[in-house]
Amino acid sequence: MMKSTPGDINHRARKRFGQNFLEDDGIIQRIVRSIGANSSDHLVEIGPGKGAITQWLVESCEKLDVVELDRDLAAWLSIQYEKQSHFTLHQADALKFDFSQLQQGEKPLRILGNLPYNISTPLIFHLLTYHKLVGDMHFMLQKEVVERMSASPGQKAYGRLGIMVQYYCRVDTLFLVPPEAFNPQPKVESAIVRLQPYDQPPYPAKDIKLFQRLVNIAFQQRRKTLRNALKQLAPVEQIDALELDTSRRPENLSLQEFVDLSNILSDLIE
């Protein structure tokens, strides 16, 4: 049985918030099935909008927190779900929101959302800082962003975003979503991605801040050689003494190679 959007709200999508409301029932159902919420889950939805997905989750979990920036939508959602004692609305900017305040006991957070395209990358980086608190994340994103998150060495989409996401999480692209599924229709295709944070990264970095800095510097000028990037982190004579090919381009190094290099640099700098 299909539900219609709870209540109704005459709300025009606001460009400054990057709003595109999902209205395709078939896609909504696929997303809900992919999440597979159960009665013991603590769910966190970012940007619930008009509640297209919220309505299917609110009765199938133990706790549902939603983070909505738009004041009008936040007020409307509060009224729609005021009788649901396990529903909590936070009228806030997800980019600045402290997700750790939501955790109750040891139960992991399951985070989901149709993320605005204009803030998706910085928001993903923000959420990665809470990886230890998260069970999994399901997001609708611009297809191009999902391709960057799942890219392999040598691919055009491979870069800082993919390396950092893959350091912390297993990445699975679930399915594509056409522009026609939204109102208003975006000019790009979307995709649903599942991120599952590792209990321990497959390739642990000795100094995570150094690793992050290395990756960031390496892809600021992705066509430059590795030697060029490393000069900003260690003296040239130390770099030249390393037993590795520094003439390679960063886009051809795997996640493991970046971590190994970061660990070597960590020992050098000490």
Question: Which option is the CATH number for 208-269: 1.10.12.10, 3.40.50.1260, 3.40.50.2020, 1.10.8.100?
Answer: 1.10.8.100
Residues 5/52, Cβ–Cβ less than 8 Å: yes
- Token digits of residue 265: 């640099």
Instruction: Return the pLDDT at 8.
Output: 54
Instruction: Give the orientation angle of helix 120-128 with respect to helix 160-168, to 10 degrees.
Output: 30
- Token digits of residue 128: 């990665």
Element containing residue 214 per DSSP (H, E): helix 208-218
Class of domain 15-197: alpha beta
Instruction: Return the pLDDT at 19.
Output: 55
> Which candidate, 188, 234, 197, 233, places its Cα nearest to that of 215?
233
Write the burial class of residue 108 (CB in 10 Å: 0-12 exposed, 13-18 middle, 19+ buried).
Answer: middle
In a structure prediction context, what are the per-residue pLDDT tens digits for the chain, which is 270 residues long? 334 344 455 545 444 444 577 889 999 999 999 999 999 999 999 999 889 999 999 989 999 999 999 999 999 999 999 999 999 999 999 999 999 999 999 999 999 999 888 899 999 999 999 999 999 999 999 999 999 999 999 999 999 999 999 999 999 999 999 999 988 787 889 999 999 999 999 999 999 999 999 999 999 977 888 888 888 888 888 888 877 788 899 999 999 999 999 999 988 776
Cβ contacts of residue 183 below 8 Å, gap of 6+? Answer: 13, 20, 21, 23
Instruction: Return the pLDDT at 69.
Output: 93
Cβ contacts of residue 33 below 8 Å, gap of 6+? Answer: none
Alpha-carbon dihedral of residues 173, 177, 178, 182, nearest 10 degrees? Answer: -140
The reply to whether 15-197 and 208-269 are identical in fold is no
Structural domain boundaries in the chain? 15-197, 208-269
Spatial separation of the C-alpha atoms in residues 17 and 80, rounded to whole Å: 21
What SS3 class is residue 250? helix
Query: What global pTM score does this model have?
Result: 0.90
HSE-CB for 5 with a 13 A CA cutoff: 17
Instruction: Return the pLDDT at 74.
Output: 93
> Which is it for strands 169-177 and 190-197: parallel, antiparallel or unpaired?
antiparallel
